[in-house]
Amino acid sequence: MTIPNSPGGAAPSSMNLRGAVDLSALKARAQSKGAQDSGTEAPGGASGAGETASPYIVDVTEQVFPQLVQLSAQVPVIVALGASWSDQSSQVISVLETIAVEQAGSVLLARVDFDSQPGIAQAFQAQGVPTVVAVLKGQPVPLFEGPLAEAQIRSYVDELLKVAQANGVTGSLNDAPENGAAPEEEPSEAPLPPLHQEAFDAIESGDYAAAAAAYRKALAEQPSDADAKAGLAQVELMQRLENADGTALRGAAAESPESVEAQLAVADLDLSGGHVEDAFSRLTGFIARSAGEDREAARLRLLALFDIVGPSDPRVVKARSALARALF
């Protein structure tokens, strides 16, 4: 799928949510809170346009964000990151609000306060406001950043709707059971194993060390627990990137291409932003030209990143072949 991007680069065709660590981390944090939050919650001035009674416009937090990911299989979800102090974001979001009402259920506008919801901002790599992205069939797709004229904003939404139709996302927020019948209850999710729940609760509180410890306990009890293995790899990645300065990390890697620490750090950074193939290529290239302890450290890190993305992902399958060539 293709969507026009803001000037300066084309939008990626797709992103695997499991590979985009930021989004999956939001989902993991939300699972531990379950149904404590309602479907909407005002983030304290995301739009700068005041309250709205429209069912096609919601204010979202990290805890309810996964519901939007699921809903994006039914209608395109436009995520608008703004701030009350930004007149430009208020103007952009005001236009999007008008469009959402006009579409009458064909799209959902999700307003996000950039300041109070940093996890969502980080998930979409938003550097400022306004930033507007879409989620379509669970895939985050950049739309544009900065102020645009109303006609330009409408062209992005029109193109998004075309892409949605081409991908079979043609539902409506107005869809409801006929004859006023009560909707069938969705089957409740099976409870998580205790140590997995402990890990999710720790992630929710920001205690990544405790989450990692819980996953390690789960693996000690059941070494074949693939979910615990993937969870541990992801939490360790979150630990490594906590408070990281991306610009500094990339600068260090460029200056020291033979430094294993520098290359591992940027591979982590790439994966966390959804640039999965870049991360894999960086490490397989380093492995091919290195030896000894550095080579082994890069190999082990690459395997951990494979666990995060998932063994059946075609990018992992391709990278495994590249790793074999680099090693032998």
Phi, psi values for residue 131, rounded to 5°: -125, 130
pLDDT of residue 79: 95
Inform me whether the pLDDT recorded for 289 exceeds 60.
yes
Measured CA to CA, the distance from residue 76 to residue 69 in angstroms comes to 10
The better pLDDT of the pair 126, 217 is held by 217
Neighbours of 310 (CB within 10 A): 14
pLDDT of residue 146: 92
Neighbours of 38 (CB within 10 A): 10
pLDDT digits 0-9 by tens, 5-17: 333 333 333 323 2
pLDDT digits 0-9 by tens, 131-183: 999 998 888 888 999 999 999 999 999 999 998 888 888 899 887 544 444 44
pLDDT of residue 120: 86
pLDDT of residue 23: 41
Measured CA to CA, the distance from residue 18 to residue 315 in angstroms comes to 12
pLDDT of residue 204: 82
Average pLDDT for the chain: 80
Inform me whether the pLDDT recorded for 102 exceeds 90.
yes
The better pLDDT of the pair 285, 163 is held by 285
Q: What are the beta bridge partners of residue 34?
A: none
Per domain, the residue ranges of the chain are 21-170, 194-327
Measured CA to CA, the distance from residue 241 to residue 237 in angstroms comes to 6
Q: What are the beta bridge partners of residue 57?
A: 109
Q: What is the DSSP string of 90-121?
A: HHHHHHHHHHHHHHTTSSEEEEEETTT-HHHH
Inform me whether the pLDDT recorded for 227 exceeds 50.
yes
Q: Which residue has the tokens 């059941």?
A: 222
CATH code for residues 21-170 = 3.40.30.10
